[in-house]
Amino acid sequence: MLPPSSSESLSLFMLFTEPSPVHPASLVDPSLHSPVLLQLVGTKISRQLVDYVVQCVVGGSSSCRPELVKFANFVANVLTWAQVTTPVVLVSLVYIVRAKPHLHIRALEEEASEHTLDRAFLGALIIASKACYLNDCTLDNVHWAMCTGIFGNKDVEFIEQEFLNILDWELSR
């Protein structure tokens, strides 16, 4: 008798396994989840979410200043091109809040670097994407660079390392 092919093995495996009682976004039984939290995790990326991300990074209400409009467009473009999920965005916001005391973001001051906001957001997003166990397949730095349209591979590598150092490599705290 010949051994089953991989597709036959998968079919047999699926036939004899019970459906998992665990929600795909968690390691606990779904009955323990808040319906509101599940709704939030399932939310699609929207302009309102982009505006909220901008507010979190900037540290206040976003205005119509050109640099903030440009930053909002950067956020929207990266989220779209990288096909980031809402849970990854939420984790990146946690990282931004944790890093805020160590970041000197002066978005509304003239001496701020042109890409200060972009770098803070991108660093948090890359780390969140790689840290979220939901993503078995994450983008590598070359692809993140392409998603930004402004940073090169070495820049992205530096941004990621810089943000990890700010968090002191403590991703699960």
**Per-residue pLDDT tens for 67-115?**
778 888 998 998 989 888 888 888 888 888 888 777 765 544 444 566 8
Is the entire prediction scored with pTM above 0.85?
no
Please give the average per-residue pLDDT across 34-55, as a whole number. 78
Q: What is the pLDDT of residue 106?
A: 52
- Reported as a pLDDT band with limits 50, 70 and 90, residue 118 is confident
* CB atoms near residue 18 (< 10 Å): 5
Domain 34-166: give its CATH code.
Answer: 1.10.472.10
pLDDT per residue over 141-160, tens digit each?
A: 788 888 888 888 898 898 88
* CB atoms near residue 70 (< 10 Å): 14
Give 122 or 23, the one with higher predicted confidence: 122
Residue 62 contacts residue 68 (beta carbons within 8 Å): yes
| Ramachandran area for residue 61 (φ above 0: left; ψ -120 to 50: alpha; else beta) | beta
User: Hey, which of 18-27, 34-43, 72-81, 100-109 has the most confident mean pLDDT?
Assistant: 72-81
Domain spans, the chain = 34-166
| Segments in the chain forming alpha helices (H) | 6-16, 35-41, 47-58, 66-82, 86-99, 116-131, 141-148, 153-166
